[in-house]
């Protein structure tokens, strides 16, 4: 590849939208997250649905992508899925369908976009 072509590819990647380099998909058993961030190494992670113990929605008010933080019984750190990722809309819908986030809480998050919304609610967690 020519140096000119490398420069153009580098510029395109640097200005890529989140949707272009961050993906989330799922099946009956797990969630798959992959990313090819501009200028950084690509990576992939998988999370089983049954390992999820807490979901936190962090609203960013439209300036950047909202984040869905998945806490599991597999590690202390959360996994994050930006809602603007490729597959993000389907993923959020699946979280609600599977009961990992309520549709009422989702509506609240959309109507009040600067906030943190948790499932289960604090009074329900043990």
Q: What is the pTM of this model?
A: 0.81
Q: What CATH number did the domain enclosing 75 receive? A: 2.30.29
Report how far residue 74's alpha carbon sits from residue 27's, in angstroms, rounded to the nearest whole number: 19
Question: Is the pLDDT assigned to residue 60 strictly greater than 90?
Answer: no
- Please choose, from the candidates 35, 43, 44, the residue with its C-alpha nearest in 3D space to the C-alpha of residue 16: 35
Domain membership of residue 104 as a residue range: 3-119
- Between residues 126 and 98, the one the model is more confident about: 98
Specify if 75 maps to a domain: yes
Report how far residue 25's alpha carbon sits from residue 81's, in angstroms, rounded to the nearest whole number: 10
Question: What mean pLDDT do residues 120-124 have?
Answer: 65
Q: Using one digit for the tens of pLDDT, what is the confidence trace for 12-34?
A: 555 678 788 999 999 999 999 99
In which band, very low, low, confident or very high, does the pLDDT at 79 lie, cut at 50, 70 and 90? very high
Specify if 124 maps to a domain: no
Question: What mean pLDDT do residues 30-58 have?
Answer: 94
Question: What mean pLDDT do residues 42-70 have?
Answer: 92
């Amino acid at each position: 590849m020519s140096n000119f072509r490398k420069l153009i590819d580098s510029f395109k990647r640097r200005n890529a939208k989140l949707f272009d380099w961050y993906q989330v998909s799922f099946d009956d058993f797990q969630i798959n997250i992959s990313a090819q961030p501009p200028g950084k190494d690509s990576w992939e992670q998988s999370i089983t649905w049954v390992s999820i113990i807490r979901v936190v929605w962090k609203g960013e008010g439209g300036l950047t992508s909202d984040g869905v933080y998945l806490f599991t019984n597999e590690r202390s750190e959360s996994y994050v899925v930006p809602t603007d990722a490729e597959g993000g809309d389907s993923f959020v819908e699946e979280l609600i369908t599977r009961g990992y986030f309520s549709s009422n809480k989702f509506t609240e998050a959309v109507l009040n976009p600067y906030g943190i919304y948790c499932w289960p609610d604090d009074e329900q967690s043990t």
